[in-house]
Structures are given as C-alpha cells and as structure tokens.
Structure 1
C-alpha cells in the first residue's frame, strides 16, 4: 500500500523537509501524487530511499548518489553487498581508533610509552576505496577534484585576523536563526551574505555552493566545526544553501 510523506518520514526516520528536497532535486520522486497534492510512495520508492540513506551515511554526496542510482548499470544486490563491505570496514576503522585512544589514555597516565609511530597507529583517513568502486561501477568515474578544493578553501585553519572575526560573526548570526525555516526570507538573506563572504576564498557557482552545503553535513570535520556554534547549524545551513542556489538558478 502506498504511503504518504508523513508516514515515510516516520518509518525512515528522515524529516518531511528532506523528502520534499529529494523530490525537488529529482533524487526521490514519489510514485504518484494525488489530485489533492499528496505525495504517495510505493515499495520501489522506499527501496530507493533505503539506498539513498545508506550511501549518505557512508559519505556520498546527494548528487553522486543520484548518478549511481540512475545509472543503467546499477544493481540492487551489488549495492547491498558494497554497502555491507563499507560498513564492515567502517566498524573495523572505528575499533582501531578506539584501541589507539585506549593506548593514548594509558600513555597519558604514565602506564606505557608510545613512539611517534604508535601515536598514529590504526589511523587511516585516506579516501575509501569502496567509494571509488561505486563511482567506477555506477557513477562518475573521476575523482571529485572540486570537493577537495572546496575543503581546502573553506578550512578554518586558513582564516586569520579580520576574516576570522567575520567568519565567527556570520556563523553566530546563522546559529541564532537555525531553528527557523531555512527557506524563510531572513534565513535566505543571511545565507546570501554567507555566499558573498565565501568569495574571499574563491569563486563559487550556485551549484558548487549547494554542493558545499551538502559537505557541511556529510563530512564530519565540517559538521563538528560548524555545530560548535550551535547544535544543528550545519544541517540548517546545508538546507538554506540548497534553497538559495536553487532559487538563484531559477531567477
């Protein structure tokens, strides 16, 4: 039986706003829309949503997920097997990091010595090979160079003096309205100021600006750095940036 957007939101643990956004960008279109305008999701739509949420959790950008799912070569069973391997590797990586932290605690207590090599033992933040496998198989075969450039340009370690003060001021202002609707006029005005401010670090197309917003929630380093100004700020900014970019491209 088809489900309404509110029911899908409850079952999948995802916001109604996110489902609307996925519909708007063509990532997850409901199987039908009633005459009254209600989105109705069939079983195949829920299966696609499951893949979206798993790949998102594993660090893929929404645009990449869309390319993979829409590829003629996409295979549901292969995707499930890949997702399992990626999750197993993620678990193993987490266990190695916990072991490193346990040794570091012992070292801090004076219970053991650690060499410089041991301080970083088990820590590997290189690109996940399975991500490239997924791109090669179903999506963009090229490494997303723009993603790395955006990370470098917006790293707060590059900020100094007046730029740093302006960064903090704008983040604080956005944090103050993070519980508002990201599409509201005040939120859009503030995120527009953010778009202008980012011109200090490079030239951004509206598409790149929206992509950067996705990274704010997909990349834990960005999320932690932004959310220190207010819990949920990264998610608010990501949605506001997507709305801003979409509205400007339609203008």
Structure 2
C-alpha cells in the first residue's frame, strides 16, 4: 500500500517492482487513460503519487479476478456502475470457467488412462460387450507391443471419449462382419470378386473405429490374420479356411488398387 514516502512520487520502474506489473503495462494504461501518473519530472519522466498507487492497486486486483480493462475503467470511473453487481457477474463467469476447466481435467484424465490402459471399461463390461472369449489382458499386451506407434495414439484418443454403448455398437459391427465373411466362404465367393471386394471395404470401414487403416496396412493385417495362430484360430473358428480366404481377398483388392501385396508395408 502507499506510504508517506510516496508523496514525492515513484518512477515507473519503482511502481513496476512494487505492484508486480510490467513497465509496458503501466505505459499502456497511461496511454489509454486508465491510470495516468499525476506528476512529471523536469525531464518529462512519469511520477506516480500515493493516490495514483491506490488506483493502480485496484486495477491490479480487478485484473487478477478477470475483469477487462474497459470494465475496470467503468467500475473505477462510472458512478452509475453497480460495483457489487459487476463483481457478482464476474464471480459467475469465474465459476463457469472453473467448471469448464474441471471438465477439461476430467477429459485429460480419461485421455491419459486410455493411453495407459487402452480400454476404459471394467473387466465385467469387457466380458459383456466382447464375449466370454475376450481376454482382458489383451489391451495391456497391445499397449506393450504398439504403445509407441501413431496408431495406438489414434486408438487411445478415440477410446478416451467412447462409452460402453458405443463399444457395444462397434462389437456388434465386427461380429456382423465376421458372420458375413464366414457366409462368403461358405457360399464360395471368390477373392477378387465384387462381393469379396465389398467385404474387404467393410473391414476397412469397421477397423476405422480403432484407427485409420490404409490398404497397405490392411494387407499387413491380412497376412497377420493368416500367420498368427491366435488370429487364425479366431477366423477359422468362424468358418474353416476363412483366415486364408480373407488374406487372399485383401491381396486381390490391393492389386486392384495398384498395390503389390508382396511389398506392402505398415504405412
């Protein structure tokens, strides 16, 4: 607060140090007429009196609680302004910002958890959505294997905002696709045919629930589905020979889009 020593006036630098505001801010407030020093030295340098300091203290306080400079000017200079109402309105805005920040904090917590865990579902929810064959350790294993990839980051960003109902819809879509693939094998659909190509596209669309899947990446997945014992068992459990049929269908679709399956990479 001002004291008797301030009667002769304080320089801009002294006021800046005392109030914790920048010299640039003091100059700006002077330029716009919000807080002008009452005195000048013979050389033209600004000097702030005790009364000037009192006004500056109020400006700093109002600015810290979020009032804009125009609103501060009105509170200080306009006798028609109800200061208490202005402060209450500002309190409401602060409460709204706090609520918004809390929401952002909760969103960040979910994003961190999704990056760490992959699925923000309880073990019971996972079993109910993905079926009894689902292993709740799979997400952690996937993170250990793919956690440093762009695709895991994309997957986590989607998972962070996904509800159990949305996961159920995705699981239903995948199950329906699996049945359609099995039916295609049973019906003797030939890889490379329009029917097979349509199913390959459905697979890419369904997989986009996790992360964007390029055709080259789909070729790599098709090879893994056939070569990996766990994946092969899953597909062949739907229909004998499905793992190989799907790989062949993906390869045929890739060739139709000028992609050589033999040189396709994960990109």
TM-score (ref. length: structure 2): 0.34
Larger Rg computed on CA atoms: 2
TM-score (normalizing by structure 1): 0.36
